[in-house]
Amino acid sequence: MKIDPKIKEDLKDYLKKKLEEENEMVTIISPYKLEKEEMGLIYKKFPQYKDKKVKNIVKPEILGGIIIKQGTKIIDLSLKHKLQSLRKILYGNNR
C-alpha cells in the first residue's frame, strides 16, 4: 500500500513533537508516593521544574531521597546512590 507523502510528513512531525514533549517532561522517582507539600519543597529547591509537566513514579528500591529525570539528564539524590558512592570510597579506586 502506498502511503500519501503528506500523511507521512504529518506522522513524522507528530512523532517529533511527541518526542520533544517526552524530553521536556520531568519524572521524579521516589520510594513512596509524594505528597503535595513534599512536591512544594522540591519545587522550592528546583524552581526550573515548576512550570513543567511532572510525573511521579514510585520505586522502593532507591531506599530514600529522590531522582529527578528530564530527558537524558538526571539528578540522583537517592540514598541508594549515596550508599554506592560510599562503597566506592571505602573500597578505594585501587580495585
Partner 1 sequence: MGIIDSYIKDVEKELKSSKSRKVEEEVGEVVEVKDGVSILTGLNNVTYGEIVEFESGEKGFVIDLNEDSVGVVILGDFLKVKAGEMVKASGRQVSVPVTNEILGRIIDGLGRPIDGGDKIKTDKYYPVEKIAPGIVYRKPVSVPLQTGIKAIDALVPIGRGQRELIIGDRGTGKSTVVIDTILNQKGKDVICIYCAIGQKESNVAQVVDVFKKHKAMDYTVVVAATASDPVSLQYIAPYAATAIGEYFMDQGKDVLVVYDDLTKHAWAYRQMSLILRRPAGREAYPGDVFYLHSRLLERACRLDEKYGGGSLTALPIIETLEGDVSSYIPTNVISITDGQIYLDLDLFNNGIRPAINVGTSVSRVGSAAQAKAMKQVASKLKLDLAQYREMAAFSQFESELDEDTKKLINRGAKVTQVLKQKKHVPYDLATEVAVIWAAIKGYLDEVPVDRVEEFETSLIEDLSLRGKSLLASINKKKKIDEEDEKMLKKYVKENVEKMELESDKNHKS
> Which stretch in 2-10, 26-34, 49-57, 74-82 sits in contact with partner 1 by CB under 8 A?
74-82
- Distance (Å, rounded) from C-alpha 69 to C-alpha 40? 17
Residue 80 near partner 1 by CB under 8 A: no
Of 60 and 94, nearer to partner 1 (C-beta) is: 94
For CA atoms 86, 89, 93, 94, give the dihedral sign: negative
- Distance (Å, rounded) from C-alpha 55 to C-alpha 20? 16
Residues that bind partner 1 (CB under 8 A): 23, 45-46, 69, 71-77, 82, 85-86, 89-90, 93-94
